[in-house]
């Protein structure tokens, strides 16, 4: 994926629709942003089913219902000034946690969905790959309000990400990836 602008972020909202039949067999990555030096932002489904995101190191984890073959709408939010981090699942907000206050996500990396790059240009581990469907990946350089996230879930808005806009983003599929237009 090629973002609309560099990911120099002090806040973000990252949303996507996800469906998978992989149960607790393994951890799976949903979204990765890696610079030459580190994993700047990774979103995972952990072995125990919790959803998490990591900013250049340790992560923040959320206990939510398991992902399954029915599509789930996920939004992850984080604000550097307060450290407030939250997860929305199908329009419902998790508990807010304090995480990585005063951190900045660095520019100069690559965005991937469904695979964890162990270095900037690859180094993939098949046991961490995503199997299923990921769509409607949108990212903003701010924290959307609870109401805005709920409108996204119910598809009552045409608001698209100003960092990543699923409708216009350049996708470069590699490996066993199929791009399917479900709304022709």
Among residues 181, 27, 35, 9, which one has the least CA distance to residue 114? 27
H or E element: which one contains 18?
Answer: strand 11-19
Q: Is the confidence at residue 123, as pLDDT, over 70? A: no
Q: Is the confidence at residue 86, as pLDDT, over 60? A: yes
**Coil vs helix vs strand at 153:** helix
Q: Cα(168)–Cα(174) distance, rounded to whole angstroms?
A: 19
Q: Cα(132)–Cα(123) distance, rounded to whole angstroms?
A: 21
pLDDT value of position 4: 87
| % of the chain at pLDDT higher than 90 | 62
pLDDT band at 184 (very low <50, low <70, confident <90, very high): very low
Other Cβ atoms less than 10 A from the Cβ of 145: the count is: 11
Q: 124 versus 48: which is more confidently predicted?
A: 48
Q: Is the confidence at residue 121, as pLDDT, over 60? A: no
44-48, 115-119, 124-128, 147-151: least confident range: 124-128
pLDDT value of position 1: 83
pLDDT value of position 117: 75
Q: Is the confidence at residue 122, as pLDDT, over 70? A: no
pLDDT band at 72 (very low <50, low <70, confident <90, very high): very high
For the stretch 27-36, pLDDT in tens is 889 999 988 8
pLDDT band at 128 (very low <50, low <70, confident <90, very high): low
Q: Is the confidence at residue 178, as pLDDT, over 90? A: no
Q: Is the confidence at residue 76, as pLDDT, over 90? A: yes
């Amino acid at each position: 994926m090629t973002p609309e602008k560099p990911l120099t972020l002090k806040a973000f909202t990252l949303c996507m629709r996800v469906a998978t039949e992989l149960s607790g067999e393994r951890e799976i990555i949903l979204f990765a942003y890696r610079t030459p030096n580190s994993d700047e932002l990774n979103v995972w489904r952990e072995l125990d089913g919790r959803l998490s995101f990591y900013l250049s190191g340790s992560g923040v984890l959320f206990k939510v219902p398991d992902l399954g073959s029915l599509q789930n709408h996920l939004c992850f939010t984080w604000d550097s000034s307060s450290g407030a981090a939250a997860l929305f699942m199908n329009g419902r907000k998790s508990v807010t946690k304090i995480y990585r206050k005063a951190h900045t996500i660095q520019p100069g990396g690559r965005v991937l969905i469904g695979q964890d790059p162990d270095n900037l240009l690859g180094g993939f581990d098949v046991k961490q790959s995503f199997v299923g469907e990921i769509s409607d990946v949108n990212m903003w350089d701010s924290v959307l309000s609870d109401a805005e996230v709920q409108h996204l879930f119910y598809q009552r808005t045409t608001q698209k990400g100003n960092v990543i806009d699923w409708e216009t983003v350049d996708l470069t599929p590699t490996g066993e990836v199929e791009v399917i237009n479900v709304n022709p």
